[in-house]
Structure 1
Amino acid sequence: MTTVFRASASAADSLLGLGPLADLPGTWVGTGFNLISRPDAHNNNPFFLQLSKTQETLTFTEIGAPIPNRGSGQDDIFFSGVHYVQQISDVVTKGALHLEPGMWLNLPATTDPVADASVARLATIPHGDALLAQGTSFTVPGGPQIDAVSSTPINSTGPDAGKPVTNEQYLAPFTTTELPPDIPDGSIANPNLVLTEAIADQKIVETTVLAIDTATAIGGTAGGIQNIPFVVQNANATSMKAIFWIEQVQREDGDGVFLQLQYTQTVILDFLGIAWPHIAVGTLVKQ
């Protein structure tokens, strides 16, 4: 773990322009929890609820130079960012669950279109998905506010569209599926319990928040997800929202702080006329 320091003039030059992303470069390692409802035609079932305690490595590298975007209605803008690789596996089975290369960008305010400064995440997933999500960033004293997140599936078509599913066949796995070891009770209904339990005994000095959503409109235009035809037909990924908390945590001996990254992410998968929340959470420490 690395003790946090305030950059000297020479170090600040290398972080210039990263803004709220400045603490990301480096390698973060930790654990988390993954909940996904997925089609299960191979076993002649409508769906299968898969729960995993996860092991994760997330590596960020600063993009080496300012990125120019050429303007026509306004002057050019320049911004900075980091590219990353996320690797997640199942703690119990050791099987790979997720691989994701992508970028985070720190974007300035613009006049054409009129838009406040923002952060953006671009990602590609080997299942055949590519996404753009934008949002806001801010820093607060103390620890994060981690609200509950719901795994309840929602009807996406028909007269009950927008209402929670009531079909007991679909709801039963959410109360009968066994949790992985060391995942707290109640985490199927609210996976964010894994995050709040991880920091229950910590003293967090300061938190930088990155909140993004594929549906957030920046300058009048939202992001989105593009999928290959097989994904669209069988389990269409329609939206994603996530919150990342970069936390300065006081060491137990009181000697300085270390950097910790927590996140919660919800992707909506649409099949059987139902929007199924695919929720992933993690608590990682900078090495």
Structure 2
Amino acid sequence: MDIDMAAPQSYRKNTRRLIEVAQTGDDDLGPLKLLPGTWKNAEISPGIQDGRGWNVIALPFGGGQPPFRVLMNQYNEALMFSLVDKGVPNRGVTDDPDVNSTDQRIVTLDYQQSIHQIAAEDFPESGEKGDAGLAIHHEPGLFLHMLSHETEGLDIGRLATVPHGNSALALGKSEIVDGLAEIPETVNALAVGVGDDIENSPYLAPYKHFRDNRFTGVVDPNDVPGFPGFNPLDTTQLLREANANINVKRTTVLRLDTELQQAGIVNIPFIQKEADAASMQSTFWIQEVDNDGETQLRLQYLQVVMLDFFSPRRDGMPGDIRWPHVSINTMVKVAEPDPEQGKYMTTQSK
């Protein structure tokens, strides 16, 4: 299957609103056109059949010294994009009689994300890391493609809702790259505002523990020689490792940030008081892989959510200590959207 990413977007000329089951390659979706369907963890390299999702987060740990623990998860994920809403109108207002229309048109693609851990470790040990199969995340939301009236070139957005009590709007830009797009190096999960002397700082001991004792989850290094484990000081290493020895023909890059323009995160009062989710940055790499002449679709992502708690910072800067919550995954598309599943949402009244 080859998708023409340069194809014109036909819906720009059609202002009729339409809700339908999404289809891979639909030009109206623009940079989102490869997302429709279900993405899951599957075997990508020999010996690692699942668990390509990795997560690191610092959590308050009452009575501990330091007063937090670092939790590492290995997980499986299902990410499903199913319905597209075309021609969504945002009404614009102008007094200029020469302007034909100031309305903005948006195409949206809905998604459901479900994550279950298959292994976890924390340090210091709390007894609360959870067992294999534990549900650790669920998120319904929308990806947006702005067809007109873009502001400062921002052509995509993401609306995310999380059962903890968070609602996020991230904005960003899309890009199409020939071949394999660069994965950033040395994205670390160290707390921000306490220094970076991991060798000598007792406060950073939980991070040093996992740097020196890599979390490998269910992966047996004897079965996968050279497997580096998940390193909190280089959280993207496993993304880069997953790209070894594959032929990526083209990559669609979606970069999204809650700190752009009027984007942001809203939290319920408890979260705002105790561990405020202050920002979220995420990058999605949609890869078209040449697999013996057939195109396989892969999806990688890096997401960093900043949590603010334990104030004040210790570096003289204002605000609370900031704790990166970093998640990565590498998935493949396993199914196209099911028309039967969406029929009740798309049926038009007569």
What's the TM-score bracket when you normalise by the shorter of the two chains?
A: 0.7 to 0.9
Structure 1 partner of 2:175: 138
Please state how far the C-alpha of 1:44 moved relative to its aligned partner: 8.5
User: Is contact 2:302–2:328 with CA below 8 Å preserved after alignment?
Assistant: yes
User: Is contact 2:106–2:148 with CA below 8 Å preserved after alignment?
Assistant: no
User: Is contact 1:134–1:212 with CA below 8 Å preserved after alignment?
Assistant: yes
Please state how far the C-alpha of 1:116 moved relative to its aligned partner: 2.5
| Secondary structure in structure 1 of the residue aligned to 2:86 | coil
Structure 2 partner of 1:22: 33
Deviations 1:85-111 (A, max 9, x none): 111111121111110110000013417
Q: 2:295 aligns with which of 257, 264, 269?
A: 257
Structure 1 unaligned residues grouped into runs of 5+: none
Whichever structure has more strand as a proportion of its residues is 1
| Secondary structure in structure 1 of the residue aligned to 2:28 | coil
Structure 2 partner of 1:187: 231
CA 1:44–1:151 in structure 2 vs 1: closer, same or farther (change >3 Å)?
closer
Greater C-alpha radius of gyration: 2
Structure 1 partner of 2:17: none
Report the TM-score, using the length of structure 2 for normalisation.
0.71
Please state how far the C-alpha of 1:32 moved relative to its aligned partner: 1.3
Deviations 1:194-242 (A, max 9, x none): 101111121111000000101122xxxx300000111111111000101
Structure 1 partner of 2:188: 150
Structure 2 partner of 1:59: 80
- Does residue 1:272 correspond to 2:310, yes or no? yes
Q: How many residues align?
A: 268
Structure 1 partner of 2:284: 244
Please state how far the C-alpha of 1:283 moved relative to its aligned partner: 0.4
Instruction: Please tell me the residue identity of whatever aligns with 1:76.
Output: D
Report the TM-score, using the length of structure 1 for normalisation.
0.86
Structure 1 partner of 2:329: 282
Please state how far the C-alpha of 1:262 moved relative to its aligned partner: 0.3
- Does residue 1:230 correspond to 2:274, yes or no? no
Instruction: Please tell me the residue identity of whatever aligns with 2:332.
Output: V
Which stretch has the larger CA shift, 57-66 or 38-47?
Answer: 38-47
CA 1:193–1:238 in structure 2 vs 1: closer, same or farther (change >3 Å)?
same
Which stretch has the larger CA shift, 256-265 or 116-125?
Answer: 116-125
Structure 2 unaligned residues grouped into runs of 5+: 12-22, 42-51, 95-100, 120-131, 220-226, 312-320, 335-350
Structure 2 partner of 1:170: 203
Q: 1:35 aligns with which of 53, 56, 66?
A: 56
User: Is contact 1:38–1:48 with CA below 8 Å preserved after alignment?
Assistant: yes
User: Is contact 1:151–1:276 with CA below 8 Å preserved after alignment?
Assistant: yes
Give me the whole-angstrom Cα distance separating, in 1, the residues matched to 2:163 and 2:65.
25
| Secondary structure in structure 2 of the residue aligned to 1:19 | helix
* Greater relative CO (CA pairs within 8 A, separation 6+): 1
Please state how far the C-alpha of 1:117 moved relative to its aligned partner: 4.6
